[in-house]
């Protein structure tokens, strides 16, 4: 697999990188193993200081780091800067709270002392995606490093410069050489890497196929995994909701990161004809008004998709949805969008904000994840039917519910099959709350105390 920076805004190839040789890869694993032997004995105060210094570097270099993300994967520059600031937050959160999370848990038994002590596992391999090229890495690395583990990062092959810069950031913060290393390798080499006894666990954020591949490899070697995979999150709007507010958040949520977010609201479910009509008008109006263009321009609200394959897949899905009976409300015409763009951008991977309505709910395409600026609008008669439709997908990452009725809130929280339910707000990750999914959205949790404890040995100690 090619490891290269290709600017999705213009289609221009910027820089190619040679993958690590087998000898270079072996040396990195050996360095990580040697580093763990000493790093595991570093104090929490040392690790906290290093992580705070990484946060300082992120703040100081925010503009340059954001620019690099835009160059490699195309998100709007304001969104890239916000992503860097979120990384600062997660670093400071774990730097300040890891000691509390890693304290012995005292348990009263018939022993004179008995407790549970979290201890690090060793090298953790992280296979990370391009869509949030900094945040996805930091939300794994900050807790893993504070717990005393060391990390090997196999980043997405279309963000190699971000991947290399990440390793530099941890070294600049003071972490020992080998505590965090980037591996420039293709995905086809991950399974063999997992077989190395020195790698104790692995985590992946990405597609179902990638998750299945990693989990299968780890299963053969009996290694712990955490997976955060795709999502087709519902956004349910009830008649009691502030519908204009729900519509505005729906637009923001769907277009987040150029529509390329696992936790974006992708299926809008309106309870009742009146709600559906109002939602459709508001969302169609706002979709049509979005500024599409150069993501380096601060005025741009929607940039290009990250790769030609993602663009091709999205176009195929939209055509399939229309063929299955979906009604095109707005968007869907890429040729018309390109005509409105400056000539320099017409080779970019742009797709217009698109809303599809009336798609038959029992079709296969209605259950798929659309990874781009395309939303599906469904109308149902009752809240029970809305919950059933929300659950009628292989995924279970997040859900958003809009209602002012306490009983409806209780029914949604109890009935929706997802790792998170947000009421009258947009689904988002937060270092203070555990994050993850169920069903084909993966397993395990990141963030909060729960995320830190995923990659530790919870050692039981009993003293007579």
SS (H, E, C) 328-375: EEECCCHHHHHHHCCHHHCCCCCCCCEEEECCCCCCHHHHCCCCCCEE
Specify if 276 maps to a domain: yes
201 part of a folded domain: yes
d(CA 264, CA 266): 6
Domain enclosing residue 134, as ranges: 3-229+441-463
- Average pLDDT (133-145) is 98
Angle at CA of residue 262, ends 401 and 77, nearest 5°: 105
Kind and range of the H or E element at 182?
strand 180-182
In this structure, are 381 and 267 located in the same domain? yes
**Is the same domain home to 349 and 251?**
yes
Which pTM was predicted?
0.97
3-state secondary structure of 400: strand
Cα distances from 413 to residues 48, 399, 400, in angstroms, run 36, 9, 10
pLDDT for 2 = 82
pLDDT of residue 195: 97
CA 263 to chain centre: 7
Are residues 193 and 303 located together in one domain of the fold?
A: no
Task: Please check whether residues 403 and 449 belong to one and the same domain.
Answer: no
d(CA 210, CA 19): 19
Answer yes or no: do 372 and 286 share one domain. yes
Q: Which of 429, 341, 331 is nearest to 131 (CA)?
A: 429
CA angle 320, 301, 90 (to 5 degrees): 100
Mean pLDDT across the chain: 98
CB 423 within 8 A of CB 401: yes
263 & 215 share domain:
no
Regarding whether 257 and 363 lie in a shared domain, the answer is: yes
**Is 26 part of a structural domain of the chain?**
yes
User: Is 228 an active-site residue?
Assistant: yes
Mean pLDDT of all residues in 135-156: 98
Question: Are both 131 and 248 inside the same structural domain?
Answer: no
The two three-digit tokens of residue 10, written as one number: 């213009």
Residue 206 has, within 13 A of its CA and on its CB side, a CA count of: 21
**80 lies in the same domain as 153:** yes
d(CA 178, CA 153): 11
DSSP H or E segment with residue 66: helix 62-73
**Average pLDDT of 200-212?**
97
How far is CA 62 from its chain centroid? 20
| CATH at 371 | 3.40.309.10
Closest C-alpha to 51, from 1, 96, 91? 91
Each residue's pLDDT tens digit, 363-420: 999 999 999 999 999 999 999 999 999 999 999 999 999 999 999 999 999 999 999 9
**Same structural domain, 166 and 304:** no
Q: Yes or no: say if 329 and 355 are a contact pair by the CB < 8 Å rule.
A: yes
Based on the structure, what is the number of domains in the chain? Answer: 2
pLDDT tens column, 309-368:
999 999 999 999 999 999 999 999 999 999 999 999 999 999 999 999 999 999 999 999
Question: 228, 280, 368, 369: which one is catalytic?
Answer: 228
Q: What is d(CA 77, CA 382) in angstroms, rounded to the nearest whole number?
A: 41
Domain-located, residue 436: no
Residue 18 has φ and ψ, to the nearest 5°, of -80, 130
Same domain, 250 and 367: yes
Over its C-alpha atoms, the chain yields an Rg (Å, rounded) of 23
Instruction: State how far the Cα of 416 lies from the Cα of 437, in Å rounded to an integer.
Output: 12
215 assigned to some structural domain: yes
Instruction: Indicate if the pLDDT at residue 1 is higher than 70.
Output: no
- The count of other CB atoms within 10 Å of the CB of residue 458 is 10
The answer on 257 and 301 residing in a single domain is: yes
Is the per-residue pLDDT at 280 higher than 70? yes
* 435, part of any domain: no
pLDDT band at 122 (very low <50, low <70, confident <90, very high): very high
Sequence-separated (6 or more) residues with CB below 8 Å from residue 298: 76, 77, 78
Instruction: Flag whether pLDDT at 428 surpasses 90.
Output: yes
Structure-token pair, residue 207: 């597609």
Residue 271 in any domain: the answer is yes
Q: 3-state class of 272 per DSSP?
A: coil
- Reference 102, options 120, 88, 87, 114; nearest CA is 120
> pLDDT by residue (tens digit) across 235-244?
999 999 999 9
Residue 269, domain member (yes or no): yes
Say whether 262 is catalytic: yes
Tell me: pLDDT of 71 over 90.
yes
- The mean pLDDT of 131-144, rounded to a whole number, is 98
> Which of these is catalytic: 62, 87, 91, 262?
262
Q: What is the CATH number of the domain that holds 27?
A: 3.40.605.10
């Amino acid at each position: 697999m090619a490891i290269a920076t290709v600017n999705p805004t213009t289609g221009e190839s910027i820089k190619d990188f040679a993958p690590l040789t087998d000898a270079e890869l072996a040396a990195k694993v050996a360095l990580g193993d040697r580093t763990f032997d000493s790093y595991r004995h570093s104090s929490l105060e040392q690790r906290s200081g290093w992580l705070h210094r990484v946060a300082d570097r992120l703040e100081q270099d925010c503009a340059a780091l954001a620019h690099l993300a835009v160059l490699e994967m195309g998100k709007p520059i304001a969104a890239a800067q916000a992503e860097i600031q979120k990384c600062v937050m997660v670093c400071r959160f774990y730097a300040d709270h890891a000691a509390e999370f890693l304290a012995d848990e005292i348990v009263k038994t018939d022993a004179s002392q008995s407790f549970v002590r979290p201890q690090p596992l060793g090298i953790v391999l992280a296979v990370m995606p391009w869509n949030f090229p900094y945040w996805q890495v930091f939300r794994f690395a900050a807790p893993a490093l504070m717990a005393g583990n060391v990390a090997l990062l196999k980043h997405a092959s279309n963000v190699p410069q971000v991947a290399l810069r990440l390793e530099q950031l941890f070294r600049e913060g003071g972490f020992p050489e080998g505590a965090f290393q980037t591996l420039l390798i293709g995905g086809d080499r991950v399974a063999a890497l997992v077989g190395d006894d020195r790698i104790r666990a692995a985590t992946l954020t990405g597609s179902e196929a990638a998750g299945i591949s990693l989990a299968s490899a780890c299963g053969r070697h009996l290694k712990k995994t955490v997976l955060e995979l795709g999502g087709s999150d519902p956004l349910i709007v009830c008649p009691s909701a502030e519908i204009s507010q729900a519509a505005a958040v729906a637009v923001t949520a769907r277009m987040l990161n150029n529509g390329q977010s696992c936790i974006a609201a992708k299926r809008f479910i309106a309870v009742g004809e009146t709600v559906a009509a109002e939602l459709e008008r508001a969302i169609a109006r706002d979709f049509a008004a979005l500024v599409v263009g150069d993501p380096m321009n601060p005025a741009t609200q929607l940039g290009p998709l990250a790769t030609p394959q993602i663009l091709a897949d999205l176009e195929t899905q939209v055509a399939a949805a229309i063929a299955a009976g979906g009604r095109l409300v707005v968007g869907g015409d890429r040729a018309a969008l390109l005509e409105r763009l400056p000539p320099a951008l017409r080779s970019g991977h742009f797709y217009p904000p698109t809303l599809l309505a009336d798609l038959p709910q029992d079709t296969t395409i209605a259950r798929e994840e659309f990874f781009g600026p395309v939303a599906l609008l469904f109308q149902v008669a009752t809240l029970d039917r809305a919950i059933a439709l929300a659950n009628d997908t292989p995924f279970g990452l997040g859900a958003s519910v809009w209602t002012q009725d306490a009983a409806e809130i209780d029914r949604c929280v109890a009935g929706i099959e997802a790792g998170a339910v947000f009421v009258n707000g947009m689904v988002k990750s937060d270092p203070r709350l555990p994050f993850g999914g169920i069903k084909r959205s993966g397993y395990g949790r990141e963030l909060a105390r729960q995320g830190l404890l995923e990659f530790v040995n919870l050692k039981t100690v009993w003293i007579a």
